[in-house]
Copies of this chain bind each other. A is one copy, B any other.
Amino acid sequence: MAEELFKALADPTRRTILDELADRSGQTLFEICGRLSMKHRLGLSRQAVSQHLAVLESAGLVETRREGRYKYHDLNTAPLRQITDRWPVPDPSRPEESTP
């Protein structure tokens, strides 16, 4: 599970896809292709994006729902929690000190 999560995050295009889904949830494959092309100047084929979405879905970061011939993609950030669960990040508001 962790393996797929980190593999999914390793690619910059996939991270951009997550950004776009965070900006607007429930996009179709073609909408995502358009955003990557227009906003980020990424000239990827439709299949490339589709493969990226499959990787993100297998990591649990993207969930899909079918309606007719459309397939909508939603962001799910819950899997990211296991990262900070595994390596706790100190609170920046309390710079550094041992737990009193």
Q: How many copies of this protein are present in the complex?
A: 2
A1-32 interface bits toward B, Cβ cutoff 8 Å, 1 = contact, 0 = none? 01100110110100100110010000000000
For the complex, what is the distance from the CA of A3 to the CA of B18, rounded to whole Å?
15
Asked if B87 and A22 make an inter-chain contact with CB atoms under 8 angstroms apart, the answer reads yes
Residue ranges of A at the interface with B (Cβ–Cβ < 8 Å): 2-3, 6-7, 9-10, 12, 15, 18-19, 22, 75, 77-78, 80-81, 83-84, 86-90, 92
A80 — which chain B residues lie within 8 A by C-beta?
A: 83-84, 87, 89
The answer to whether A81 and B89 touch (CB under 8 A), given A6-B9, A10-B9, is: yes
A10 — which chain B residues lie within 8 A by C-beta?
A: 6-7, 9-10
Secondary structure at the A interface, as helix, strand, loop or mixed, is helix
Asked if A15 and B19 make an inter-chain contact with CB atoms under 8 angstroms apart, the answer reads no
In the complex, the chain B residue whose C-beta lies closest to that of A10 is: B10
A83 — which chain B residues lie within 8 A by C-beta?
A: 9, 80, 83-84
